[in-house]
A and B are shown apart, each in its own frame.
Chain A
Amino acid sequence: MEFYRSHILVCSGTGCHASGSISLKQALESEIARVGLDKEVKVVETGCFGFCRFGPNMMVYPEGVFYCQVQEADVPELVEEHLVKGRVVERLLYREPETEAAIVDFEEIPFFSKQTRVVLENCGIINPESINEYIARDGYFGLAKALEMKPEEVIEVIKKSGLRGRGGAGFPTGLKWEFAAKAEGSPKYVVCNADEGDPGAFMDRSTIEGDPHKLLEGMIICGYAIGASQGYVYVRAEYPLAVERLHKAIEDARALGLLGKNILNSGFDFDIDIRLGAGAFVCGEETALLNSVMGGRGEPRPRPPFPANEGLWGKPTVINNVETFANVPVILRKGPEWLAGIGTEKSKGTKVFALAGNINNNGLAEVPMGTTIGEIVFDIGGGLPDGKKFKAVQTGGPSGGCIPVEYLNTPVDYESLAELGTIMGSGGFVVMDEDTCMVDLAKFFLEFVQSESCGKCAPCRIGTKRMLEILQRITRGEGREGDIELLVELGESIKQSALCGLGQSAPNPVLSTIKYFREEYEIHIKDKKCPASVCAALFDAPCQNTCPAHVDVPIYVDLIRQGRYDEAYEEILRENPFPVVCGRVCHHPCESRCRRAQLDEAVAIRELKRFASDYAVSRHGSRPRLAVKAPTGKKVAVVGAGPAGLTAAYYLALQGHAVTVFEALPVAGGMLAVGIPKYRLPKEALNHDIDVIKSLGVNIRTGVKVGEDISWERIREDYDAVFVAIGAHKDRAMGIPGEDLDGVVPGVIFLRDLNLGKPVDLTGKKVVVVGGGNVAMDAARSARRLGAEKVTVVYRRRREDMPAEPEEIKAASEEGIAIEPMVNPVAILGDGKVEKVRCVRMVSGEFDSSGRRRTYPVEGSEFDIECDVFIAAIGQNPESDVLKDTGLNINRDGTFAVDPRTMETGIPGVFAAGDCVTGPATVVEAIEGGKKAAAAINQYLGGSPDVVPRSKHIRKLTAPVIEEKMPRVVARCLSVEDRVNSFVEVELGYDAREAQREAQRCLRCDVKE
């Protein structure tokens, strides 16, 4: 026999075949032969490792080195470096996404290390076409053991193990076998359901392709237990590789006498044949499947009688899923207690999941029952790509429901998933990110099920069609009041009256998305909007649709491209009175949805806005661009001159109302003036936008605090409507000892003092900032510029969980600010003044409702950071105490309760929006609030809710769309040395040439020709 010193296993599942593993294997074999290593190195085909996203996969033994995405072109280097010289080829290793560290040993890759491979125990280790290798891994020993027991004893073993059907319903397998064993009738049959119709599910395919004998062994054991001598495997025809491997396995088993007459000299006969499906999803339903095996059309029938009593040709039949059978040999070999020791109380064993959708590690993972959804998505699945946020996961395919972020800590087992309104199903696990429209998702699944309905029963045939019609109407913008209730009513009656599982579960995706995402449906129906920018009939371009202020991005970008900068500025002004400001500080949600990112990178929408605004203002100064209507004689009071208040003032002034803005601070602008530092937003820039608003006749009275300098009652008397937009300027206290020491400054106060011109000198001081949001970043970067010797930001969660803009965090790091994640202060120590901060290290726990992990202090991990100035920036609340006796509805955290569409408070004529309603949010969201309030106020005062002037532009292409890759134009910014010593503006913007080049990249998604 040959002595091979090395085995190379090349994944030979369909997934890797599709990415080139066949030619890879051939290239490997010929290169190995060429250099003369063919007597030392053996190349073996193996089954699916499950790491499909990173295929073709390869494992080199004896070292156990796991290579990913290996191409034919890599073969010469691989052979030369690894096989001849023994050096691992680093660039083909899997890289941990966070640390970029290459992992050599496949057991250390989190995707694999967190799995418990039982069904998949041989996949990736043996050659699926070798029965010998299966036997070497204890294959058919389970059968040998079973044949030494009495059939009833075998059933007892299965019952004791707690195995439940893995096809989706979870019926106790031992019980099913017992029914069939006791049923009257002969001959009996064993049928394996390998139809696997769920879109995106491929657990069964990989099991058959990677370890077909396991399935056969399980079926033979079942046959022995119930007294059957014939088995059928019903495989869908779309799995040619699985069918091929199964054929070979059956032939090899027959050749060795493990199938056929007198197996292992026991007197027991059993044979297996294959039956192919013909592309009908309904044939995954057991009675429809049996009908198909018998040559009929795939149509279910009423049960009882169940197949265990009357199945194929009316005889007792056990029909189980591939995964169920695959567990059987292992249970016989290792004993029922072994399986019962894995999983939860009612759901024993493991489950194989197919991870699909918006997830980094697409592939197959087998985990013990009871593993939480969050662990599967984030620890094994590697989280979502592109930093997108988790929205929901669909389990059980088109028959299942979705699970939103609040339930990430739910353990996966039959009962807990059912409680959430979904099902385990066959193991499909589709992860969806924030860019998924749940209404569209429900429509997609319903379309699938509708086309697969066999038509036999009216509830499914007609009911699902009617439900689909409603969903189609909604996604077209023709939703009606009452549609949601109708969908629920229809759905629930179909569930109760359909003949088979397909119909009974068809409404699940709809009912489940309505349950958890009802608001999204309501927005589609009432507002005719699709927030995720998916339902094409409901928006023009995703960027504009995502912008809270609905700025017409494609139009203004195109105007810039044409060199019509003034007009671009005017167009922006139509929907957003703060173009100069937003061009510098907006967090640009539009860019996160820019379709260009699928080609190369998102268009630099914010940078272009800055360019056009700066240009127009520098050429023509701040002057009103939009026509003001005739005076109405109505007076509106706005409390707070921040972005929400001034936006409302702007639109109301355009309508002809007399607007007076009361501002407690000595300057207008709110957080724009006293929060955001000058190096991000120079005062002149802010004043350009404020001047435009003032030039419309808006009267801004600074230094006047409503509730103190002027009474609320007076405002209510003198003005026809009041808009409260006081923002959130009160820092939350940390609540730790030492907060009263000299040197402790709350974040907002620190920034406000600085922005109002108070001289602050931090030369030589050590500054510690607590928090992970934009206020913390602003405070840290300002402290750096004020001469601090060292600035440290501590945050209690991971760096990726920090809510601040990634650009801000990056800039802070570049400027030398230390960021310490997973650290929380517990006390500030010092004698009269701050000397050090005592902190603890944090460790991750379960998920909270934001989809991030909660953190807990590690006992005994205290350590001190030397500190002179301590700035806490852990969140802000509105200073609404001053208005607490006005009758306004104020929540516990100080925010005002309002109608989300009209910003009306409980008091007629009084409205509120911005941070004082939402809690600390962003500039553009405050602008959105101001616009909505202006519309409602105008309507209240007798006008129409249309306060935004109509656009005069037509949507058409003015130049060919550039579809070749073209990198984003990067705007210049000051180098670190030039910027850390002063508050001079860091970003320098585009020049005209750069702006036009960047503007060309827009794909004009808004033009529908």
Chain B
Amino acid sequence: MKSLEDLERLKEETLQDIRLRTSSGSPRIVIGMGTCGIAAGARETMLAIIDELKVRRKFDVTITETGCIGLCAKEPIVEVHMPGQPKVLYGNVDPSRGRQIVVSHIVNHKPIDQWIINVEDNS
């Protein structure tokens, strides 16, 4: 470390790594991982989403899992929550759709309407 700038750079690099432990204002993806979800292939979808995020260098996204929400026929179900936006629920998300959601919704802020099954009502 030869300067404050060097410190700053190392901080930024590592911050991505531990952001999971501290931040709360980042984009969140929740993937249904109940029995129906797993059976429908949610694991593969999740791995594809993670891979796409890595490729796009979007390291600040939080990914969590949840159980069955009751709409088993539409599994794998993926919820996308961009900060300040209502939560969006996507259905029948296979690995390929998962990747497209990452690129379009998370990176480019354009939700993909045809796959949406619900948008959170905040009124």
- Residues of B23-67 at the interface with A, using a CB-CB cut-off of 8 Å, are 31, 33-34, 38, 43, 46-47, 50-51, 53-54, 59, 62-67
Contact A132 B7 (CB under 8 A): no
B14 within 8 A of A: yes
Q: Pick the contact of A141 from B7, B17, B53, B63 — CB < 8 Å? A: B7
- Min distance, Cβ B109 to any Cβ of chain A, angstroms: 20
Q: Pick the contact of A62 from B1, B2, B20, B51 — CB < 8 Å? A: B20
Contact A125 B14 (CB under 8 A): no
Contact B2 A3 (CB under 8 A): no
Contact A135 B7 (CB under 8 A): yes
Known: A1-B16, A7-B20, A63-B64. A85 touches B1 (CB 8 A): no
Measured between beta carbons, the chain A residues less than 8 angstroms from B31 are: 86
B110 within 8 A of A: no
The winner among A130, A135, A265 for most chain B CB atoms within 10 A is: A135
A144 within 8 A of B: yes
Contact A85 B33 (CB under 8 A): yes
Distance, CA A748 to CA B43, complexed state (A): 70
Q: CB-nearest residue of chain A relative to B32?
A: A86
Contact A136 B50 (CB under 8 A): no
Contact A135 B64 (CB under 8 A): no
Contact A132 B20 (CB under 8 A): no
A96 within 8 A of B: no
Known: A62-B62, A265-B2. A3 touches B50 (CB 8 A): yes
Distance, CA A954 to CA B1, complexed state (A): 80
Contact B18 A86 (CB under 8 A): no
Measured between beta carbons, the chain A residues less than 8 angstroms from B1 are: 140, 256-258, 264
Measured between beta carbons, the chain B residues less than 8 angstroms from A40 are: 47, 50
Q: CB-nearest residue of chain A relative to B66?
A: A86
Distance, CA A392 to CA B96, complexed state (A): 66
Q: CB-nearest residue of chain B relative to A256?
A: B1
Measured between beta carbons, the chain A residues less than 8 angstroms from B123 are: none
Measured between beta carbons, the chain A residues less than 8 angstroms from B15 are: 136
Contact A61 B20 (CB under 8 A): yes
- Min distance, Cβ B37 to any Cβ of chain A, angstroms: 9
Q: CB-nearest residue of chain A relative to B35?
A: A85
- Min distance, Cβ B22 to any Cβ of chain A, angstroms: 7
Measured between beta carbons, the chain B residues less than 8 angstroms from A125 are: 18, 21-22
As a 0/1 sequence over residues 1 to 30 of chain A, the CB contacts with chain B under 8 angstroms (1 = contact) are 111111101000000000000000000000
- Min distance, Cβ B73 to any Cβ of chain A, angstroms: 19
Contact B20 A6 (CB under 8 A): yes
Distance, CA A137 to CA B12, complexed state (A): 10
Contact B54 A85 (CB under 8 A): no
- Min distance, Cβ A38 to any Cβ of chain B, angstroms: 13
- Min distance, Cβ B112 to any Cβ of chain A, angstroms: 22
Distance, CA A130 to CA B14, complexed state (A): 10
As a 0/1 sequence over residues 124 to 138 of chain A, the CB contacts with chain B under 8 angstroms (1 = contact) are 011000101101111
Q: Pick the contact of A86 from B10, B47, B64 — CB < 8 Å? A: B64
Contact B17 A3 (CB under 8 A): no
The winner among A1, A9, A85, A265 for most chain B CB atoms within 10 A is: A85
- How many chain B residues sit at the interface, stated as a range, is 20 to 34
Contact B14 A257 (CB under 8 A): no
Measured between beta carbons, the chain B residues less than 8 angstroms from A59 are: 21
- Min distance, Cβ B102 to any Cβ of chain A, angstroms: 11
Contact A264 B67 (CB under 8 A): no
Q: CB-nearest residue of chain B relative to A40?
A: B50
- Min distance, Cβ B46 to any Cβ of chain A, angstroms: 8
Distance, CA A13 to CA B32, complexed state (A): 35
B3 within 8 A of A: yes
Contact B11 A135 (CB under 8 A): yes
- Min distance, Cβ A854 to any Cβ of chain B, angstroms: 38
Distance, CA A585 to CA B48, complexed state (A): 71
The winner among B21, B54, B66 for most chain A CB atoms within 10 A is: B21
Contact B50 A126 (CB under 8 A): no
Measured between beta carbons, the chain B residues less than 8 angstroms from A126 are: 18
Contact B21 A4 (CB under 8 A): no
Contact A4 B14 (CB under 8 A): no
Measured between beta carbons, the chain B residues less than 8 angstroms from A137 are: 18, 22
Contact B20 A4 (CB under 8 A): yes
Contact B20 A264 (CB under 8 A): no
- Min distance, Cβ B88 to any Cβ of chain A, angstroms: 19
Distance, CA A580 to CA B47, complexed state (A): 74
Measured between beta carbons, the chain B residues less than 8 angstroms from A130 are: 14
Distance, CA A211 to CA B2, complexed state (A): 23
Known: A86-B66, A265-B2. A140 touches B34 (CB 8 A): no
Distance, CA A1000 to CA B77, complexed state (A): 63
Contact A264 B18 (CB under 8 A): no
Measured between beta carbons, the chain A residues less than 8 angstroms from B66 are: 86
A84 within 8 A of B: yes
Known: A144-B4, A264-B4. A3 touches B53 (CB 8 A): yes
Q: CB-nearest residue of chain B relative to A39?
A: B50
Distance, CA A28 to CA B43, complexed state (A): 20
- Min distance, Cβ B93 to any Cβ of chain A, angstroms: 16
Contact B64 A265 (CB under 8 A): no
Q: CB-nearest residue of chain B relative to A262?
A: B2
Q: Pick the contact of B38 from A3, A85, A141, A256 — CB < 8 Å? A: A85
Contact B63 A138 (CB under 8 A): no
Q: CB-nearest residue of chain B relative to A84?
A: B33
Distance, CA A5 to CA B1, complexed state (A): 30
Measured between beta carbons, the chain A residues less than 8 angstroms from B4 are: 141, 144, 264
As a 0/1 sequence over residues 98 to 114 of chain B, the CB contacts with chain A under 8 angstroms (1 = contact) are 00000000000000000
Q: Pick the contact of B50 from A1, A5, A7 — CB < 8 Å? A: A5
Measured between beta carbons, the chain A residues less than 8 angstroms from B3 are: 264-265
Q: CB-nearest residue of chain B relative to A130?
A: B14
Contact A135 B67 (CB under 8 A): no
Q: CB-nearest residue of chain B relative to A140?
A: B7
- Min distance, Cβ B61 to any Cβ of chain A, angstroms: 9
Given A5-B46, A86-B31, 17 more A-B residue pairs with CB atoms under 8 Å apart are A1-B54, A3-B51, A3-B53, A5-B63, A7-B18, A84-B38, A86-B64, A86-B66, A86-B67, A87-B67, A132-B13, A133-B17, A135-B10, A136-B11, A264-B2, A264-B7, A265-B3
Residue contacts A-B, CB under 8 angstroms, 11 given: A3-B59, A5-B46, A9-B21, A84-B43, A84-B65, A85-B67, A125-B18, A126-B18, A141-B7, A264-B2, A265-B2
Closest 5 CB pairs of A and B: A86-B65, A136-B14, A5-B63, A3-B54, A132-B14
